[in-house]
């Protein structure tokens, strides 16, 4: 049997991550120790596109990982682990990541791709003027920002002290009016 036939049988003609049955194809998992069915997955076009291009990630689509991460198939566990790492800035994804257990062999396979990504993504966090920001810095808002869900507007000139950096170099975390929020660096200026 071909890899595609094996995967279709294993996955019952459904995406192994989100259970969609549309536009299914074999997905070769990056940095796999072998090129066989045990190191591949049957995925829909939506999952394949977002795995191949992280700029197209639709966060809510990946809530399906709460089910698929429990798959007995190692390849699916590795994909779930890697994708949860991509989304770990989301509370629900971090909670799932904390629950996910991979044996040592699967963890090593999953981490190879994450290590390569970390080496490639050492982009500095810069303010609106291109000045590098570090954890603990103080920044000022350069624009009034409506804080959705908190019911207030963070006014231009507001100081945000002791900031925290995030995985995303275009965002920082800090307290404004006693509420911890994520701020886009394009609206910030580092204090002198």
pLDDT, tens digit, for every residue of 88-127?
889 999 999 999 999 999 999 988 876 544 444 457 899 9
Q: How many CB atoms lie within 10 A of CB 164?
A: 13
Q: Above pLDDT 90, what percent of the chain?
A: 71
Q: What is the set of domains in the chain, with CATH numbers? A: 3-120 (no CATH), 139-190 (2.30.30.40)
Task: Quick: pLDDT tens for 26-59.
Answer: 999 988 888 899 999 999 999 999 999 888 889 9
pLDDT of residue 112: 84
d(CA 24, CA 7): 10
Q: Both tokens of residue 27?
A: 């997905």
pLDDT of residue 176: 92
Task: Quick: pLDDT tens for 167-182.
Answer: 888 999 999 988 899 9
Alpha helices by DSSP H, listed for the chain, are: 3-11, 45-52, 65-68, 74-86, 91-99, 104-120
CB proximity list for 157: less than 8 A, separation 6 or greater: 140, 141
pTM flag (> 0.85): no
Q: Both tokens of residue 153?
A: 């507007």
């Amino acid at each position: 049997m071909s890899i595609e036939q094996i995967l279709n049988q294993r996955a019952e003609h459904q995406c192994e991550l989100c259970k969609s049955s549309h536009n299914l194809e074999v997905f070769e998992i990056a940095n796999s120790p072998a090129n066989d069915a045990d190191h591949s997955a049957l995925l829909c076009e939506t999952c394949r596109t977002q795995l191949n291009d992280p700029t197209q990630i639709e966060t809510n689509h990946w809530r399906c990982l709460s089910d698929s991460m429990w798959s007995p198939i190692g390849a699916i566990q590795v994909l779930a682990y890697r994708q949860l790492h991509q989304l770990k800035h989301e509370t629900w994804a971090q909670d799932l990541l904390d629950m996910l257990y991979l044996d040592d062999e699967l963890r090593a396979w999953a981490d190879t791709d994450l290590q390569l990504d970390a080496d490639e993504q050492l982009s500095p966090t810069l303010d609106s003027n291109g000045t590098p920001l570090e954890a603990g810095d103080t920044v000022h808002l350069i624009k009034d920002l409506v804080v959705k869900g908190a019911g207030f507007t963070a006014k231009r000139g507001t100081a945000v002290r002791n900031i925290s950096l995030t995985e995303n170099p275009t965002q920082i975390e800090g307290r404004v009016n006693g509420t911890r929020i994520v701020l886009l660096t394009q609206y910030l200026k580092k204090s002198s």
